[in-house]
Amino acid sequence: MTNPTLHVGCAQCGTTNRVPATRLAQDPVCGRCGQALLAGKPVELGDANFEAVVAATELPVLVDFWAPWCGPCRMMAPAFEQAAAQLKGRAMLVKVNSDDNPLLAQRYGIRSIPTLVRLQRGREVQRQAGALPASQIVALAGA
């Protein structure tokens, strides 16, 4: 029996990595740049690299559209980090600064922030507007 592998996009360099399913929680690193692929922390993506990384990633991807001036966004940030730690090796949590990345905010029709969008292989499957506690962020990731 072969060990199943999952594709994971590197948030640093955009390379698609094949990671054995059994090693997802064991700090896999990118084969090209050495960056941790699933470090249990949110990664920042933007207009330039978002598509390549999320479309390549076979784990659930949960995107937080936020901006620095948004109070509820800042309030939710620690909960998002907690959720990322709990979901280590099971999901990729992504932050997109909607001020710096207007193309993504427009493409996803973001009208209020924070808005969380769950993607599977780059396709939106669910979204939720408004700040959430860590437990609900974890549930939304569906991992």
List the x/- string, 8-47, binding to Zn ion by CB under 5 A. Answer: --x-xx-x--------------x-xx-x------------
CB of 26 to Zn ion, least distance (A): 17
Contact between 52 and Zn ion by CB under 5 A: the answer reads no
Contact between 104 and Zn ion by CB under 5 A: the answer reads no
From 13, 30, 33, 73, active-site residue: 73
Is-catalytic flag, 30? Answer: no
**Residue 26: helix, strand or coil by DSSP?**
coil
Q: Which stretches does DSSP call E strand in 1-143?
A: 5-9, 16-20, 43-44, 61-66, 92-97, 115-120, 123-129
CB of 71 to Zn ion, least distance (A): 34
Which candidate, 64, 45, 43, places its Cα nearest to that of 112?
Answer: 64
Q: 89 with 25: CB under 8 angstroms?
A: yes
Rank residues 8 and 113 by Cβ distance to Zn ion and give the closer one: 8
Contact between 77 and Zn ion by CB under 5 A: the answer reads no
Rounded CA gap, 74 and 76, in Å? 5
Is-catalytic flag, 70? Answer: yes
Please identify every residue annotated as catalytic: 70, 73
